[in-house]
């Protein structure tokens, strides 16, 4: 090709990709949102101290931000090398400090450090959700320090676990 020559094949291919995306986008978004909600429900049921950051209704289909008080998100990530988990928010991935995004929505530094971010996509399936939920819940329960883990650790702090819920922060 000469400089300035239009890549006609590339333009046609890009137009076809956009046409397919337009057709499949809504269906994909609904399927991914269902998977995300399934993952969230499984983790909230297994980890009674955990809560979702943000609205459950008004969020990206493939994003789950979950705080599990009493854990260090870095330790959880290190213990689960086979699952793609990130710490905090996308804005501060890889930094040692708690996410300024999470502290801006009201999390204290300890909860910001106990927050994980999971992303789902077009190729995520039910079996990956089941596996991730099981593994994350098991490892988080093992790493957890607090009144909600008194049975596993033998430690208590005087807080009745029945007072804990999965309150969402908006």
| Alpha helix ranges (H) inside 47-166 | 73-79, 100-104, 109-113, 126-143, 150-153
List 52's β-bridge partners, or say none.
Answer: 66
Contact call for residues 115 and 107 (beta carbons, < 8 A)? yes
Residue at token pair 């094949």: 9
Question: Which structure tokens are listed for 93?
Answer: 């991935």
- Check 15, 17, 23, 91 and give the catalytic one: 91
Phi, psi angles (nearest 5°) of residue 49: -85, -15
Examine the residue annotation and report whether 91 is marked as an active-site residue of this protein. Answer: yes
Alpha helices of the chain — where are they, by DSSP H? 8-46, 73-79, 100-104, 109-113, 126-143, 150-153
Cite the active site residues: 91
């Amino acid at each position: 090709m000469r400089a300035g020559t239009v890549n006609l094949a590339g333009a046609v291919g890009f137009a076809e990709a956009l046409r397919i995306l337009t057709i499949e986008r809504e269906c994909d978004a609904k399927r991914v949102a269902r998977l995300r909600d399934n993952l969230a429900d499984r983790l909230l049921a297994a980890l009674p101290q955990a809560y979702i950051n943000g609205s459950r209704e008004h969020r990206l289909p493939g994003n789950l931000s979950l705080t599990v008080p009493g854990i260090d998100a870095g330790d959880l990530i290190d213990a689960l090398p086979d699952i793609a988990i990130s710490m905090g928010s996308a804005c501060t991935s890889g930094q040692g400090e708690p996410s300024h995004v999470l502290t801006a929505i009201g999390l204290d530094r300890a909860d910001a450090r106990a927050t994980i971010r999971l992303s789902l996509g077009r190729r995520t399936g039910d079996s990956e959700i089941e596996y991730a939920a099981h593994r994350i819940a098991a490892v988080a329960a093992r790493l957890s320090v607090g009144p909600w883990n008194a049975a596993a650790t033998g430690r208590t702090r005087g807080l009745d676990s029945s007072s804990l819920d999965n309150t969402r922060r908006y």
